[in-house]
Structure 1
Amino acid sequence: MRVGPWSHEGFPSILALVEERAGLAPPSCPASAEEGISRAMARAGVTDFDVYRMHIDSDPAAMDDLLTELTIGETYFFRTPEHFEYLRRDILPALREQQGAGYNARLWSAGCSSGEEAYSMAALLMNEGWGNNMAVFATDVSRTALARARRAHYGEWSLRGPWAERMRAYLRPEGRQYVLSPEVKQHVRFSYLNLALDTWPSPDSGIWRLDVVFCRNVLIYFNNFTIEGVARRLHASLREGGVLFTGPSDPPLGGLAPLEPVLTEWGVLYRRLPHGTTVAVPDVLSLGEPVSPRPLVAPVPAPPVSPVSTRPPVAAPPGPPPRAPSRAPEKKPPEAPEGAPRRPSSVEIGAARAALERGDWHEAATRLGALDMNPETAAVAVRAIANLDTQAAIYASGEAASRHPLVPDLRYLEALLLLGQGRLPDAERAVRQALYLEPTLAVAWLVLGRVLNQLGDTSGALKALREAEVLCDALPADSLPPLAEGERASDLGRAARDERIRLELTMIEGKAP
């Protein structure tokens, strides 16, 4: 377990057991891990660390509750639509051509959380005519999440993606929520599964000989030893030619199991090679060593899925034609320093505006770079989109944060946008995630205080404002705190102090006879 500034030696002992049982990597933020463990202990009614360690060791539900605190289970219907479009356009037609019209497709949502991904898979196959010939398996390590998935009641936040309308036909409004139709629910089988344990694949669970596996944004939580084991078991769970989708931030798997990396116009997926085809796989992955990508292997002849499109990524529309030779050449702006975030050009902004007019948030985000592999570029792009369309910016910030789950800046931006829309519970979630990643982010504590105050949690708001105040007071007065938009530490601290004092006075006046 990574050495950190633990306030009590009991915290790393708890995390060591979690790593042993669930394969989670050591936390990057000890302070936030302590908060999560403390909340789980409070719910369990336990204050002694040794007692709690024995409690989670013997009670699976208690361990599940703690895992929920230590991971971020964020999902929505048809998240990362490129994956679903590739499934619809390439994989399903090839599967039907290879196996025949009566073939029963088998899909798996690994780490399904509250079920939106698995239900999206079922809805897509129903729309493509597979309603009587499919089975969707969905597993998670959290029994709480599985209970929510089986209940299948969702809010607007689960419908925030660009493909949301494809799901509305299967949702019935009920108050402020939507209830999923039995027509979709009947195709999905939910069950508990700890991916870190060597208990799968197996025919009894249904996790074997699968055509498609979605294991997205799950591997980022595992240590390297667990990643290697999961990669080999994912390979074993696929039938020959079966396809595996991982998340954009998940580690590459090409060197860990005999999976063929396949390059598409939107990224990389993996395919189980036909029997007898080999891919060099290292015998040992040293603990603590980074998982490094390996070169893409050449395609193997006659795989049982259709060829990958070789179309290049969508490019921004061309700029104006070159000036006539008789005119002086146009002066170019100075180039940004190497490594600096790329800022959208006027052409890209124009293309994004056109995409927004069509209602295509994903296209606008792509044009401006919100899905860039550089998180700083993505943050710049989200800010640019916010000047054009707030709802599109909320979508872009969520997608960018999914690609860069360890970057607090993107979660903070998302919180600001949600707060501006009055979506307080969602704003609280986003800003708490930012603070989980970077607990010294003073501006995030200030925003959390404002959110909690509007939610009626006065004591929580005072605590957050006081934390922002303390962090700013610890900095040089003229320094610029991260993400403070040029605001000096002294001014930011004064703002937090003023808000705290006003809130305390309001409380005193409210208690006066």
Structure 2
Amino acid sequence: MTRRGPSLELAEQVAGRVGLSFSASRKEAVASAIDRFMVRRGIGEGRSLLDRLGSDEDLTDDVISAVTVAETHFFRGLEQFELIRQTILPELLRRRPDGSPLRIWSVGCATGEEPYSLAILCEEEGLLDGVRIDAADISRRALAAAKAADYGEWALRNTGPRLRQRYFTSCEGRFRLRERLRRRVDFAHLNLGADALPSPGKRLADFDLILCRNVLVYLEASAVCRVARQLLACLSEGGWLLTAPTDPPLGKYAPFETSITPAGVVYRRIMAPDTRKSSIACVAPVRRQTGKPAEGVPLARARVVPAQRTTGDDAAKAIARQIRSRFDLGETRQAARLAAQAIETHPLSAELHFLEGLSRMASGETDAAAAALRRVAYLDGKLAAAQFYLGICLKDSDPYAALRALENALTSCLSRPPREHVTLMPEATAGHLAQRARREIGTIRRLLGSEAG
């Protein structure tokens, strides 16, 4: 059977059927993933695949898995969990003199590690009986695994011995969450790209805290705009929304109160003037971390600073020139620090995020570099330089994600004249970067091929 190359039209139709949408920079990679999926499943025609989506739940879940990354683990994003523990929960409790339950929602919960981490955190703080946790995901298979609450060693890699012993029972290398924690989380199927929100009849409204992390990355700009407004409407007055560092910024899509913290950007539904306090002025005891903090050790206090919208492009460019000078002198750690500081004032500057990523990459901080480069990709998905270096960062830890990023970089370069200089990489041309991307793609494909064999 002879197959044609991946179809962008089919990719858009498939993504729409399963409730996903993708930025233009990722559609070629998604099309390739769907094409490979059809080969594996012996599906010869796109119409046959489309006809089965929705009615065949297993096939639908397999397609979702093919075009998304389901990587998760307990307490993923430690800094945000510290922000919740030391800032958000105390602030919410101060505004709840009547003792009514706090409501938390984990959107895109995958196999349950995130909402169960929230349950453990609340239990550690003695708050679990006064908290109601809901969780939702598009994959029914993932939800079934979440309800079983049975995990391997890798899912608990960020969880210390004390928490494992207290909250899990272990048997033959598996860890099952204790019943008290399991029954505190309610799971439901949700197609964020299609389902109507808020939905009070389904208890999907009036949340005090929403976590929607590593979900918006799978939506194109128009869908992000719609979902941002829906999430805002699902928050109670003064409620908080946390997204992942890799997710696109939401401040331009909905009237959130946006703040910068060392744990990343956080969003709130604005409180009425007569109830608003200075609770956000001096709160978050969080710091950037390169490793796991010791359990029970409080972290240094830091301020939550209101974010400023980027209007001073000239100022950002001037700072970027200073950072590049430091980088060129080999002072990569100082360049990274300068970039991180500048981003607090110019959070929407793709160049500053790119320079932070490049500097951290040169300093060996691969995870932090990848996070910064992902932010660039979602600020401007057409920047081939960011996609290329993101692929380089990920090729050892996540070769499939690296392949997608490098393919995005190649597609972007091939759409431009070969001699055109690459944005953010003035020393390189589109033709030169395309050659480099092809070499890296070939290396990764050979590696994946050898592992499959």
Q: Which has the larger radius of gyration?
A: 1
Partner SS state of residue 144, structure 1: helix
Pairing 1:415–2:395 present: yes
Partner SS state of residue 377, structure 1: helix
Does the 8 Å CA contact 1:412/1:444 hold for their aligned counterparts? no
Pairing 1:270–2:267 present: yes
Which of 190, 195, 199 pairs up with 1:193? 190
AA matched with 2:134: F
- In the other structure, the counterpart of 2:50 is 53
- In the other structure, the counterpart of 2:353 is 374
Distance across 2 between alignment mates of 1:215 and 1:259: 15
Q: How far did residue 120 of structure 1 move? A: 1.4
Deviation digits for residues 389-429 of structure 1, max 9, x if unmatched?
xxxx565456456645673433433433x5xxxxxxxx544
Q: How many residues align?
A: 377
Greater relative contact order, per chain length (Cα 8 Å cut-off, separation 6+):
2
Aligned positions of 1:233-382 closer than 5 A: 233-274=230-271, 277=272, 300=273, 302-303=275-276, 306-309=279-282, 340=324, 343=327, 374-382=353-361
Aligned positions of 1:477-488 closer than 5 A: none
AA matched with 1:309: C
Pairing 1:178–2:175 present: yes
CA distance 1:229–1:337, shift in 2 (3 Å)? closer
* Larger mean Cα displacement after TM superposition, 193-202 or 15-24: 15-24
- In the other structure, the counterpart of 2:363 is 384
In structure 2, stretches of 5+ residues that fail to align are 289-318, 382-386, 411-436
- In the other structure, the counterpart of 1:118 is 115
CA distance 1:68–1:189, shift in 2 (3 Å)? same
Deviation digits for residues 81-109 of structure 1, max 9, x if unmatched?
22222211122112222213743111011
Pairing 1:130–2:109 present: no
AA matched with 2:275: A
* Larger mean Cα displacement after TM superposition, 402-411 or 59-68: 402-411
Q: How far did residue 190 of structure 1 move? A: 1.6
- In the other structure, the counterpart of 1:85 is 82
Distance across 2 between alignment mates of 1:266 and 1:148: 29
Normalized against structure 2, the TM-score is what? 0.69
AA matched with 1:186: R
Deviation digits for residues 3-31 of structure 1, max 9, x if unmatched?
xxx95585513423523762512452455
Distance across 2 between alignment mates of 1:227 and 1:89: 29
CA distance 1:337–1:234, shift in 2 (3 Å)? closer
CA distance 1:9–1:79, shift in 2 (3 Å)? closer
Distance across 1 between alignment mates of 2:391 and 2:222: 29
AA matched with 2:10: S
- In the other structure, the counterpart of 2:22 is 25
Does the 8 Å CA contact 2:86/2:285 hold for their aligned counterparts? no
Q: How far did residue 126 of structure 1 move? A: 1.0
In structure 1, stretches of 5+ residues that fail to align are 1-5, 278-299, 316-334, 353-362, 386-392, 419-426, 459-513
Deviation digits for residues 153-184 of structure 1, max 9, x if unmatched?
334443455x7667534344444443333332
- In the other structure, the counterpart of 2:296 is none
Which of 164, 182, 187 pairs up with 1:168? 164
Distance across 1 between alignment mates of 2:325 and 2:19: 37
Q: How far did residue 211 of structure 1 move? A: 0.7
Partner SS state of residue 197, structure 2: coil
Q: How far did residue 307 of structure 1 move? A: 2.5
Distance across 2 between alignment mates of 1:338 and 1:349: 13
Which of 214, 221, 235 pairs up with 2:211? 214
Distance across 2 between alignment mates of 1:74 and 1:260: 29
Pairing 1:100–2:97 present: yes
Q: How far did residue 70 of structure 1 move? A: 1.8
Normalized against structure 1, the TM-score is what? 0.62
Partner SS state of residue 395, structure 2: helix
